[in-house]
Amino acid sequence: MILSVSKDLKERIKTQLNLFYLALSFFTRLPVPKTMHYSESLLNKANRYFSLVGLVTGLLLALSYVIFSEFLPANISVLLMMAISLLLTGAFHEDGLADMADGIGGGYTVEKRLLIMKDSRIGTYGAVTLVVALLLKFSLLVELAEQDSNYLLLAIILAECLSRAIAGSLISSLPYVTDIEQSKSKPLAQAQSSSELSLLLLIGIAPLAFYSSEIIFSLFIILLAFRWLFKRWLMARIGGFTGDCLGAAQQICELLIYLTLVSHINNDTFAELTFTELTFIGPLLTGVAG
């Protein structure tokens, strides 16, 4: 009996690890075990771990900043960290933002917009949107770094994690409108159960425990408003979502999170941790880097 329960538990853990590895391989260039199994149904189930992938990338980016900042000024360290981010994800989300801007900005019908999104070439709308987004992200990250490196480290982890949760949650409330066989991108999770959505959001909001109630409330209002408006906008423009739209949502949410945090800096609304001061984050990551 005990052996049977133990075997069943191991199989469940193995299944969940496979789903996490699948999500990790989908959104990043990080290596995963060769024993990972893929199928369309498994990819749908893997959406529960999209925000956990953000937690992983956030920790790696925070660690990279700590390493760079030991030898370089804050602005150069931020720029190099952004380069690491693009390498980690293969500019996956940035590509989605550019493609959505090109498609919805350059097309006058739903069919034309979807066709433009599938084009691997970048147009004027996409290029301008991408440049502005990257410059804004760089400016906001530098502002956070100049105030306190600990603010920056925690902000990176929060933004990477929470932005993916908000973007991933759109799967549950919008129809998927791209034909996978004609799409230039990899297949995307198209279904989401209530339990998968709950786990996605639970992991996504976990880093908020480090913040004050004022910041949590601000982020809640801003991101909820964005999600509602973005859903209505997508339904009006293309009748649902595509993978590019989810990538764009992640990038926009990330910028909104950084904007909100920067706006609160001068109000001293960053909360201390329950069990120790926030200043443990920098030294902890420095120790890991060493």
DSSP H helix total and E strand total for the chain: 12, 0
Distance CA 19, CA 37 (A): 9
Q: Tokens 């129809």 identify what position?
A: 175
Please report the pLDDT score of residue 187 as a whole number: 52
**Global pTM?**
0.86
Q: What is the DSSP letter of 273?
A: P
242-290 pLDDT, tens per residue?
989 999 999 999 999 999 999 988 665 554 443 344 444 455 555 544 4
Pick from 153, 171, 168: which is nearest to 241 by CA? 171
Quote the mean pLDDT of the chain: 86
Please state, in angstroms and rounded to a whole number, the distance separating the CA atoms of residues 45 and 12: 13
At residue 185 the predicted structure's pLDDT band, cuts being 50, 70 and 90, is very low
- Taking residues 157-177, report their average pLDDT: 93
**pLDDT reading at 159 higher than 90:** yes
What is the amino acid identity at position 26?
A: F
DSSP bridge partners of 241: 176
pLDDT at 160 over 70: yes
CB 222 within 8 A of CB 256: yes
As a dihedral over the C-alpha atoms of residue 210, residue 212, residue 214, residue 218, rounded to 10 degrees, the angle is -10
Tens of pLDDT, residues 131-145: 999 999 999 999 999
Task: Say if residues 230 and 249 touch (Cβ distance below 8 Å).
Answer: yes
Q: What is the pLDDT of residues 80-110, one digit of tens each?
A: 999 999 999 999 999 999 999 999 988 888 8
Where exactly are the structural domains of the chain?
Answer: 40-289
| Model confidence pLDDT, tens digit, residues 252-265 | 999 999 999 999 88
